[in-house]
Amino acid sequence: MSNSEIDTVNEALRARLQTVLNTHSQAEVARRTGHSLSNVNRYATGTRMPASFVAALVSELGVSPAWLLTGKGEPHSADISDKAEGRATDLLEIVKAMSAVTQMRLGSLTTRHHLKVLKELNEALTRHEALQVRLNEHSRELFAQMMEDLSNALENLDLDRAERLLESASQVAKLCDDFELNYQFYGHQARIEFGKGRPEKAGELMRKQFLFAMMRTGRLAQRDLDNITRFALSVASQHRVREGIRVMRSALALLAGEQVNWPGAAYTEFLIGHFTGLEGDLHTGLAAMQRHFPRVGPEARRAICETYLANAMLYSGLIDVEGAIRFGGHSESKAKWIMDFCVVMQDLPGLERVTRYYDSPEIVPVKGQKGRTQASRTMLTALRGQGKQALAEWAEFRNTLKSDDITQLHWRIVNEQVLRIAGKWAQAAEEGLQTQQRLDALDPEISIGMLFEARHYHGLLQCAAQGQPIPPESTERAKAWIQRHVQGGYTAFARWLP
């Protein structure tokens, strides 16, 4: 290690000390570390820090050793557990060993002293490597337990607890280089982000997980296909359905031999069918879902595929609301999709029935996702003839929504529908035309979702039928959209055509 490299290390430590001094005065740091105020000032302005001072920052001020050494993570250690606190002792030893290395003035090597200095350097580096191995061994057990706790929280749909566990696990992850545990950690993080309504972050984590696996193994494993599929789902949830389809088709193209018979491959094929239907071709999509459904693994079949298949059959007219409720098992997701269908079709009896189903003991709501059905419940209020109350409920709820362009389009379309049901046709027409302008300005790759497009275009035709000044080109576009979907298999929409 050259003098310039040693100076670089000390400059980094000094920069992190300045961060510590932003929250603790030099006098407080001096008192708690046992170093004089003048020395603390010198460490902050250029003098190399001794190992004893670095260790005291960790032990007395709670500075994170990982952050102090690498700059990664948070400046102060999280309170993860008593066991984790014991593991931190080994990291502190690493801090001391690293500091000892940086204190060596290798620029002073001479013929007389260089052998002794090189021997000391070698011993310090060897000690550092041994301590790192010990630290990894100690942290592995704790990290494995945290991954099990995270997995249990996610299986129980307790996203709030999972998010709290994530904070602690993030600290321990920095200390453990176990491939399997870190692979799991990426996946758990992505599931939490996705469940909390942060699909962009979830997609980023899924991409990292896949690349991490490919760098280590160099080949596609079944779990990697599963993770690519989750990534595609994340992309689709970000309103890029076509891109999601392309990602899944690309993943299937990587399979060879017996890999095409993996249950995950059938699941991916099923999802391509689902999204193909959402893009307007329900005939092709439903056929693909029915063809691959029997080969999908039982867990995915119950948790996701039954919901998507029931939804497709509802829109195709193969089953009614009661049939959809009875199809397959019970799930919050299926109940929510049936509610959405009833809202799109403005089916009051159906919406009342599925709302009772959603509120029954058979459905376990996802924790940490309050307000998931608020828009549907507001529509129920409106359809019951309480338009004024529905408008007030919706005005209050929409203030809690995100301000991104797609969310704003969604709430505008819901607002259009509530206004129409409440009999405020002029306001609904004005809102609908403004929504159309925003839709026209969207990137063609962006899809706001079939159920929102259906409500919007049906609403334009309703406003025109009520004598509102809807431009002919807008009504023609609305008719063309509905006709295309009816021809594609959306039989439920046929009643909207003249």
- 257-283 pLDDT, tens digit each: 888 999 899 999 999 999 999 999 999
pLDDT at 63 > cutoff 90: no
Is residue 217's pLDDT more than 90?
Answer: no
Residue 311, pLDDT above cutoff 80? yes
Task: Report the pLDDT value the prediction gives residue 204, as an integer from 0 to 100.
Answer: 78
Range 101-105 average pLDDT: 47
Structure tokens at 232: 């595609």
Rounded-to-integer distance, Cα 410 and Cα 284, Å: 27
pLDDT exceeds 60 at position 93:
no
The mean per-residue pLDDT over the stretch 58-73 comes to 73
pLDDT digits (tens, 9 = 90+) for 186-201: 888 888 887 777 777 7
- Tell me how far apart the 2 most distant CA atoms of the chain are, in Å: 101
- Give the C-alpha separation, 169 to 146, whole Å: 6
Q: What does the pLDDT read at residue 435? A: 95
Distances in Å between the Cα of 361 and the Cα atoms of 339, 370, 376 are 17, 17, 19
- Tell which residue, 353, 414, 403, has the closest CA to residue 378: 414
Q: Is the pLDDT assigned to residue 461 strictly greater than 50?
A: yes
Spatial distance between the Cα atoms of 76 and 74, rounded to a whole number of angstroms: 6
Q: Residue 463: pLDDT band by 50, 70, 90 thresholds?
A: very high
| Region 476-497 average pLDDT | 96
Least confident among 87-96, 219-228, 424-433: 87-96
Is the predicted pLDDT of residue 184 greater than 60, yes or no?
A: yes
More confident residue, 303 or 365: 303
Tell whether the model's pLDDT for residue 12 goes beyond 50: yes
Whether residue 106 is predicted with pLDDT greater than 60 in this model: the reply is no
Q: Within 10 A of 28 (CB to CB), how many other CB atoms are there?
A: 15
Question: What is the average pLDDT across 308-329?
Answer: 96
Tell me if 248 sits within 8 A of 292, measured CB to CB.
no
Please tell me the predicted confidence (pLDDT) of residue 436.
Answer: 94
Mean pLDDT of 363-390: 84
Cβ atoms of 275 and 236 within 8 Å: the answer is yes
Task: Please check whether the domain covering 178-295 is classified as CATH 1.25.40.10.
Answer: yes
pLDDT in tens, 66-85: 677 667 666 765 433 444 44
The confidence score (pLDDT) of residue 87 equals 46
Q: Which pLDDT belongs to residue 351?
A: 97
Q: Looking at residue 7, what is its pLDDT?
A: 63
